[in-house]
Chain A
């Protein structure tokens, strides 16, 4: 499975890639195209690019679109992460998730501190593993 998104990943795309690799396809491959580009390489599923199916819809982040697409909405911890990313990455009226601004900043920093997008996705996955574990414990 091949996915494509814009380079310079941030909170939503790092979360999406983590979700795909953990819950959809362990061997998923990610390719990056320049920011602003809408030329999708053949055979790759685009995500978090304005206008494509797996992106922001109705005020929700792309992570949310992926949960719908891959029928993962029953996992309440993932749903909670979707809400956190909604608040971190989109303009929301209500702020309910204290983790949101911190997660946003940490993910921006992970990209800045990483040599490339692949490395950022890998490092960021650790952050999402940690978030998932913490939220799961909270829900228990």
Chain B
């Protein structure tokens, strides 16, 4: 079974900027909220480090946070969670593919967004590979 990073936290309601700060960081990392209770990410050296820092930053915001490394007890649950992470990037990749099919796609903008989605593609989706290939193939076509 794989290892997952879990974050449980709370920050004071005021100022609202604190809540937003934490929420945005979790979104940017591509973390998923499970059962409105726990934020999860696949364990990698990067996610481990980032969640540790986030926890210390939450403490600075007068909140409380604990970071856990966990394994699921049921393989089917794990597959479901992996599928959720995979689904989270599929939509974004599809949009990029659609944009690449248009006349004169903005390759600079699309490749920037590709990199952002790629950073959250923890399970190396095949669709991501297709976007990469499409971007490479489109090279030089843009006006």
Interface residues, chain A, with chain B CB atoms under 8 Å away: 10, 50-51, 55-59, 90-93, 95, 101
Contact = CB atoms under 8 A, between A and B. Distances in A.
Interface stretch (B55-63, B74-82, B98-106): B55-63
Nearest to B67: A50
A51 B140 CA distance: 49
Main secondary structure on chain A at its contact with chain B? loop
A91 B52 CA distance: 12
A93 B22 CA distance: 12
Interface of B: 21, 24-25, 28-29, 49-50, 52-57, 59-60, 112, 115
Given A56-B57, A58-B60, A90-B50, 19 more contacts: A10-B49, A50-B52, A50-B55, A50-B56, A51-B56, A55-B56, A56-B56, A57-B57, A58-B57, A59-B21, A91-B25, A91-B28, A91-B29, A91-B50, A91-B54, A92-B28, A93-B24, A95-B112, A101-B115
Contacts of A59: 21, 57
Contacts of B28: 91-93
Contacts of B55: 50
A71 to B, nearest CB: 22
29 contacts: A10-B49, A50-B52, A50-B53, A50-B55, A50-B56, A51-B56, A51-B59, A55-B56, A56-B53, A56-B56, A56-B57, A57-B57, A57-B60, A58-B57, A58-B60, A59-B21, A59-B57, A90-B50, A90-B53, A91-B24, A91-B25, A91-B28, A91-B50, A91-B54, A92-B28, A93-B24, A93-B28, A95-B112, A101-B115
